[in-house]
Structure 1
Amino acid sequence: MSRDLEDLVVLTGGPGAGKTTLIAELQRRGHRARPESARRILKDQALFGGRATGPTDPALFAETIMAWEVRTWVEEQACEGRVFFDRAVPEAAAMLGLPPPAHFARAAARFRFARRVFIAPPWRAIYVQDEERTQTWDEALATDAACRAAYAFFGYELVELPLANVAARADFVESHCGL
């Protein structure tokens, strides 16, 4: 079976921009979704004092995220219909800078997604820090810029989400996806 890449839809943006909340709303509406890998990896690493965290070992953290994202993409090849990803391979590929290391670039070239990627812009009114989201507002802005650069570098078109409530954002995504 050949998977239609347009069914593999990515939501991206800096931390605290509302991606996870939007993913939860899309799931509530009956859509399939894949969670963000970094938060799960950080929780797992904290359980045993692992080194695969950004501050401890950025290269290992990037490799671990890439492995997670590739595995998720491969698992989705056996499924049908639309699925929404909370981040994806291109961001992992760009974590160590652009241009990325060769094997990261190969992964981004091989494991493709829908050409249009939805980006949640930085939104100060909803930004909060928590146990895993320790970035400052300025770091969140820098991450947003890095996300934009990563997807542009790998040839994706960014569609900016409106600064609106989660229902309006979900309507926007569904409309742009023909749902």
Structure 2
Amino acid sequence: MKRYILTGTPGAGKTTILRRLAALGYATVEEAATAVIADQHARGDVEPWTRPSFIDKIVALQRRRQLQSITTAQHVQFFDRSPICTHALSTYVGHPISSALSAEIDRITREQIYDRHVFFVRNLGFCEPTAARRISFEDSLTFERLHEETYRAFGYHLVEVPAGPVSERVATIRTLISQLTDV
């Protein structure tokens, strides 16, 4: 089974691309951080990312979703972010890298969970705020660079998905997937 990560800055269109891939029949796994933020907001915590426990909640949900995805019969799966993204997030918000995050990165590396080719979805030139996304466009560019550096530091190869219409971005990914799975 091939598991591919979609990563990039907040607001780059990863979730939109993921949903389009799902509509085309691919197995997909949604981003965990947004779900954790929504859950914490529902509990009255308006800034959950300010607490180090936020990172461990993301890691736990990412792991649970990845393990649940094993039951799919699909040959190719797409994940909206990974524990490597969570490492970048932890660094960005100034939290120490927790033992849970380190252990999960060790596990996904040891078990070769994700393909080493990661789809890096480039920013669209803006970043719209949402309840979960409270970052300026300028700060999102810093976060984008941090993601690049983090993935490279862990030995992943970034495959560029340039800004453009969703249909073109999905076509780019599908073309690259056919090349990568034929290797």
Compute the displacement of 1:103 (Å): 4.2
| Equivalent of residue 85 in structure 2, options 91, 108, 117 | 91
Q: Note the 1:23-172 alignment, pairs <5 A.
A: 23-50=18-45, 53-55=48-50, 57=51, 59-80=52-73, 81-97=75-91, 100-111=97-108, 112-125=113-126, 127-172=127-172
Q: Distance in 2 between matches of 1:97 and 1:133?
A: 17
Aligned letter for 1:150?
T
* TM-score, scaled to structure 1: 0.86
SS of alignment partner, residue 177 of structure 1: helix
SS of alignment partner, residue 131 of structure 1: coil
Aligned letter for 2:77?
V
Whether the 8 Å contact between 1:13 and 1:120 is mirrored in structure 2 is yes
Q: Distance in 2 between matches of 1:146 and 1:61?
A: 19
Show CA shifts across 1:55-89 (max 9, x none). 3x1x1111111111111121122323211111011
Q: Distance in 2 between matches of 1:73 and 1:160?
A: 24
SS of alignment partner, residue 90 of structure 2: coil
SS of alignment partner, residue 135 of structure 1: coil
Structure 1 runs of 4+ with >6 Å offset = none
Q: Percent identity?
A: 25
SS of alignment partner, residue 95 of structure 1: helix
CA RMSD of aligned residues (A): 2.1
Query: Which consecutive residues of structure 1, in runs of 5 or more, have no partner in the other structure?
Result: none
Q: Distance in 2 between matches of 1:101 and 1:108?
A: 11
In structure 2, relative to structure 1, the CA distance for the partners of 1:94 and 1:164 (3 Å cut) is closer
Aligned letter for 2:105?
A
Aligned letter for 1:120?
V
Query: Which consecutive residues of structure 2, in runs of 5 or more, have no partner in the other structure?
Result: none
What count of residue pairs does the alignment treat as equivalent? 171
Q: Distance in 1 between matches of 2:160 and 2:177?
A: 14
